Structure 1
């Protein structure tokens, strides 16, 4: 097997099919199919269940994913290292981020980094929960993960760099029931219509904790699309508990933002693998230290 075959294999896995992978790689689909067949022949067994035109990873394929990522990532790191010795300030860093952190602080982190390293590109991949970010870093899908958690994160095989905390706030429609500047007590949410996020997210966990404390909350909308929460608040559907990463955007959009008491926070961290980073990823981590 060779690195190109592994790269093609991972493209099929990441893009969910042969045609999308071929388009992403800018190669002809027959060439991609041939590379996969050669890889399977070299390994002595198939890597996918072929159901019609659909490819589904089998046990052998799943076992190959992480080693393949390590090989491809290692070659990319070696190539970037050689280029950096030649004085070429180029490269690419891939970052996984949860939605709220993609609103802030990710833009600020990327802005400062690209201003210092204009030749390095940044690719941001979506992850809905902190555990998803950690899994992507551990598997080698990305080198850096930006996540938020209600407790300081820990995970085997992953190193965490703590940044700061974000406070949870209540975001209400422009004509919301609380006066501007009012600090909302949890008990004041009783009977209020709330828009809640995905199970496993910090905001959903806090809402569940408030409900478990005896406050009668009405979840009028339960959405996995966090980008839909603020528009739903603005059109009067309900109010939402969000991290203060959303405060600036919410205020500029006309919503009201209130502190909550008792205060609750998210811990914002960067996750990396403990082994060597590519020069681009190392430069990114250095820019935030």
Structure 2
């Protein structure tokens, strides 16, 4: 077994098949297939069921994913540690982020990090729940994860750095009767049409809690593609409860942003795996410790 075989194995897992993995890796499919067969012989077990052009993981294949990611990530960390002698003049940092926190504070963090290390590529993976962020970091899919949650910071499986709190606000389109207001109570959303996130997200949990408290609203749209949220509000489809990370962007686009009373907020944090980090990940954490979040 060698690291190249594990990298090929993970490429097939992540791309969903041999053809796409070969294209991603810039190798021929026969070479890729030969490397995987050699790995399977070495392990004494098939890793994929070949069904037409599809590659479906066997039980042994699923068991290999996490150890393979750990091994590949450890090698990348070792390589990056050597490269750090050259002051992070190149490299890549993988970060997972929930959608609203990708607006802020991730924008501010990447701007500060890139100004110091302009040759390091920050690759952001979209995830939708706190559990997804922790799992991506824990399994080595990414090195760092940005999340927001109602509870405290996770500490058992990962290391956490607090980045403060984000309160919930209401996005309102121009011309709406609420547009001239500075704040609104949760009860005043009764009878309104709301754009909500998918189950498991903070914004969805907040509006679900309002409904359980007897606030009767209509769900106008349930959306995973957070990039469409602000256009839907501006188009008058409905109002949206989001975190205040959206405040600046929404105002620039022409929406009104109202504080919701009483104040309810999420804890924002940056998580990393325990143990040795790559120089890029360590530098990003240092950047996060010293970078002030944007003012509301």
Shorter-chain TM-score above 0.5? yes
Distance 2:48 2:76 in 1: 26
Q: How far 1:21 moved relative to its partner?
A: 1.4
Instruction: Look up the match of 2:28.
Output: 28
Q: How far 1:96 moved relative to its partner?
A: 0.5
Question: 1:101 is paired with a residue of what secondary structure?
Answer: helix
TM-score, normalization: structure 1?
0.96
Structure 2: where are the runs of 5+ without partners?
Answer: 290-296
Q: How far 1:203 moved relative to its partner?
A: 0.3
Q: How far 1:49 moved relative to its partner?
A: 2.1
Instruction: Look up the match of 1:240.
Output: 240
1:26-105 aligned within 5 A:
26-85=26-85, 89-105=89-105
Deviations 1:162-208 (A, max 9, x none): 11111110001111121423310111100100010010000000000
Q: Does 1:8 align with 2:8?
A: yes
Contact 1:90 1:280 in 2 (8 A): no
Instruction: Look up the match of 1:229.
Output: 229
Contact 1:159 1:273 in 2 (8 A): yes
Q: How far 1:95 moved relative to its partner?
A: 0.4
Distance 1:226 1:255 in 2: 16
Deviates most, 176-185 or 244-253: 176-185
Distance 2:255 2:84 in 1: 47
Q: How far 1:215 moved relative to its partner?
A: 0.6
Distance 1:227 1:88 in 2: 32
Structure 1: where are the runs of 5+ without partners?
Answer: none
Question: 2:94 is paired with a residue of what secondary structure?
Answer: strand
Instruction: Look up the match of 1:273.
Output: 273
Deviations 1:234-253 (A, max 9, x none): 11111010111111111111
Q: Does 1:123 align with 2:120?
A: no
Q: How far 1:124 moved relative to its partner?
A: 0.9
Question: What is the alpha-carbon root mean square deviation over aligned residues?
Answer: 1.3
Question: 1:153 is paired with a residue of what secondary structure?
Answer: coil
Closer, same or farther: CA 243–86 of 1 in aligned 2, 3 Å: closer
Instruction: Look up the match of 1:143.
Output: 143
Distance 2:214 2:286 in 1: 45
Instruction: Look up the match of 2:173.
Output: 173
Q: How far 1:86 moved relative to its partner?
A: 5.3
Q: How far 1:209 moved relative to its partner?
A: 0.6
Instruction: Look up the match of 2:106.
Output: 106
Distance 2:210 2:88 in 1: 53
Contact 2:167 2:244 in 1 (8 A): yes
Q: How far 1:139 moved relative to its partner?
A: 0.6
Contact 1:180 1:258 in 2 (8 A): no
Instruction: Look up the match of 2:250.
Output: 250
Distance 2:167 2:52 in 1: 49
Q: How far 1:91 moved relative to its partner?
A: 2.2
Closer, same or farther: CA 165–87 of 1 in aligned 2, 3 Å: closer
Deviations 1:72-91 (A, max 9, x none): 11111111112223556332
Instruction: Look up the match of 1:194.
Output: 194
Question: 2:67 is paired with a residue of what secondary structure?
Answer: helix
TM-score, normalization: structure 2?
0.94
Distance 1:29 1:267 in 2: 46
Contact 2:88 2:279 in 1 (8 A): no
